[in-house]
């Protein structure tokens, strides 16, 4: 079985964070979102992965994943020269896939527990496609599954005003090469894109077997800042603490991970679940956590940080508290006078803010 990771899109809802790189490289618990996807594929035995890159700084994706060897997989890059939709992107991988069954995984999706059991079920049932569904509170915002009285998948409906169910399509699909024949029959939707839901619908209409699996646990489509912060909470909640650096005289509460060569000075307070990246420096009197990720090489000189993602190589020196925020790499946040507590920030890379 092979894997396909979609790494395109413009991430407009995540600007300014996506002015300087793809949304899938935004870290959750100090790891790019798409790395969780790659590791999920590897864990089911996939060793050949195609990463589909778009027009938003694809070189950053190539630089990070390389040939895949550091992740114990072989990576092939496929360029999608225009935003033609998921089905268009999948269609570009036909040569890579060949005659193999394959998994399509949107690079900004996170799934609790992975897909190992689902992959085994797909192979056992010998269906032509399998879709992953998740129960959601607001199905009007998603592609939704409709079932017949026997519980078989009947059709897929895009953002219906009156949803036939509250089971939404996640961004994870299992296919055989039959899907390529359906994609070739598609016409662009009103968005000017080839829709994967329509390709799956053609499979159903032409009598091919399409299975489904209800996701147990949580699933996150990290398309907004709020989604990413919630994903950070969910991942940190399940992360086992790992101390790669010894710290003395530091108040640690709960599950805290500290990376190699990080310095957490005496008098600091770290409340978990929290992760401190390698080579980070946390000075005395600083308060970090809970649900905070401090990136590699970041220096927190003064202040408090809570429920936030601070990316790598940032400098924080404030007389207040950062909450519910994402701070892009290599940014500097400093205080020149006392201000109100609890600034909420969404900061792009290489920024400087004086509060």
Q: What residues have CB less than 8 Å from 162, skipping those under 6 apart?
A: none
Question: What does the pLDDT read at residue 18?
Answer: 65
Please indicate, yes or no, whether residues 80 and 223 belong to a single structural domain of this protein. yes
Whose CA is closest to 241, among 260, 261, 256? 256
Q: How do beta strands 167-175 and 102-106 pair?
A: antiparallel
Q: CATH number of the domain that 107 lies in? A: 3.90.550.10
| Distance (Å, whole) CA 153 – CA 166 | 13
Q: How do beta strands 143-147 and 153-158 pair?
A: antiparallel
Please indicate, yes or no, whether residues 83 and 201 belong to a single structural domain of this protein. yes
Please indicate, yes or no, whether residues 36 and 177 belong to a single structural domain of this protein. yes
Question: What does the pLDDT read at residue 149?
Answer: 86
Domain containing 184: what range? Answer: 2-235
Question: What does the pLDDT read at residue 337?
Answer: 62
**Residues 313, 297: contact at Cβ < 8 Å?**
yes
Question: What does the pLDDT read at residue 279?
Answer: 97
Q: pTM for the complete prediction?
A: 0.90
Q: CATH number of the domain that 320 lies in? A: 2.160.10.10
The CA–CA distances, whole Å, from 133 to 142, 146, 171, 230 equal 11, 11, 9, 20
Question: What does the pLDDT read at residue 141?
Answer: 83
Task: Give the total number of structural domains in the chain.
Answer: 2
Please indicate, yes or no, whether residues 133 and 271 belong to a single structural domain of this protein. no
| Distance (Å, whole) CA 66 – CA 52 | 13
Please indicate, yes or no, whether residues 158 and 208 belong to a single structural domain of this protein. yes
Q: 256 by DSSP, 3-state: which?
A: strand
Please indicate, yes or no, whether residues 24 and 141 belong to a single structural domain of this protein. yes
| Distance (Å, whole) CA 96 – CA 177 | 11
| Distance (Å, whole) CA 262 – CA 249 | 15
Please indicate, yes or no, whether residues 116 and 60 belong to a single structural domain of this protein. yes
Give the residue carrying structure tokens 């646990």.
217
| Distance (Å, whole) CA 198 – CA 132 | 16
Question: What does the pLDDT read at residue 152?
Answer: 87
Query: Per the structure block, which two tokens stand in for 80?
Result: 């999608």
Query: Per the structure block, which two tokens stand in for 218?
Result: 């949580």
Please indicate, yes or no, whether residues 267 and 211 belong to a single structural domain of this protein. no
Neighbour tally for 4: CB within 10 Å: 28
Please indicate, yes or no, whether residues 284 and 216 belong to a single structural domain of this protein. no
Going residue by residue through the chain, which has 355 residues, state the pLDDT in tens, using 9 for 90 and above.
Answer: 999 999 976 666 667 676 777 888 989 999 999 999 999 999 999 999 999 998 778 899 999 999 999 999 999 999 988 878 899 999 999 999 999 999 999 998 888 888 888 999 898 888 999 999 998 888 888 889 998 888 888 888 888 888 889 898 998 999 999 999 999 999 988 887 899 999 999 999 999 999 999 988 788 877 788 889 999 999 999 888 888 888 887 889 999 999 999 999 999 999 999 999 999 999 999 999 899 999 999 999 999 999 999 999 999 999 889 999 999 899 899 886 655 566 777 777 767 677 7
Last residue of one domain, picked from the residues 235, 261, 281: 235
Chain centroid offset of residue 89 CA: 18
User: What is the DSSP code string of 160-189?
Assistant: -SS-S-SEEEEEEEEE-THHHHHHHT----
Last residue of one domain, picked from the residues 185, 220, 235: 235
Question: What does the pLDDT read at residue 227?
Answer: 87
Please indicate, yes or no, whether residues 197 and 302 belong to a single structural domain of this protein. no
Radius of gyration of the chain (CA): 22
Last residue of one domain, picked from the residues 235, 269, 291: 235
Please indicate, yes or no, whether residues 247 and 137 belong to a single structural domain of this protein. no
Please indicate, yes or no, whether residues 138 and 247 belong to a single structural domain of this protein. no
């Amino acid at each position: 079985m092979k894997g396909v990771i979609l790494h395109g899109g413009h991430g407009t809802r995540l600007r300014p964070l996506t002015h300087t790189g793809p949304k899938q490289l935004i870290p959750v618990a100090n790891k790019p979102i798409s790395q969780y996807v790659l590791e999920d594929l590897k864990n089911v035995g996939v060793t050949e992965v195609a990463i589909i890159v778009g027009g938003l700084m694809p070189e950053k994706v190539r630089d990070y994943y390389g040939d895949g060897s550091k992740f114990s997989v072989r990576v092939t890059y496929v360029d999608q020269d225009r935003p033609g939709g998921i089905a268009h992107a999948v269609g570009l991988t036909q040569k890579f896939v060949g005659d193999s069954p394959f998994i399509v995984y949107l690079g900004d999706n996170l799934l609790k527990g992975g897909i190992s059991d689902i992959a085994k079920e797909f192979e056992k049932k010998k269906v032509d496609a399998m879709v992953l569904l998740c129960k959601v509170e607001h199905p009007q915002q998603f592609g939704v599954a409709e079932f017949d009285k026997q519980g078989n998948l009947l059709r897929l409906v895009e953002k219906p005003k009156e949803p036939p169910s509250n089971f939404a399509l996640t961004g994870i699909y299992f296919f055989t090469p039959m899907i390529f024949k359906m994609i070739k029959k598609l016409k662009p939707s009103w968005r000017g894109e080839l829709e994967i839901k329509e390709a799956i619908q053609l499979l159903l209409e032409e009598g091919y077997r399409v299975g489904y699996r209800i996701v147990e646990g949580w699933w996150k489509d990290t398309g907004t800042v709020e989604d990413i912060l919630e994903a950070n909470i969910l991942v940190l909640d399940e992360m086992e603490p790992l101390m790669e650096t010894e710290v003395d005289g530091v108040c640690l509460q709960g599950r805290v991970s500290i990376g190699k060569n990080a310095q957490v000075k005496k008098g600091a307070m770290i409340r978990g679940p929290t992760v401190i990246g390698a080579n980070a420096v946390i000075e005395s009197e600083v308060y970090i956590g809970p649900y905070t990720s401090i990136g590699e090489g970041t220096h927190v000189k003064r202040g408090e940080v809570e429920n936030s993602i601070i990316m790598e190589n940032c400098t924080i020196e404030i007389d207040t508290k950062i909450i519910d925020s994402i701070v892009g790499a290599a940014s500097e946040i400093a205080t020149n006078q006392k201000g109100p507590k609890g600034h909420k920030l969404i900061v792009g890379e290489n920024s400087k803010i004086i509060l």
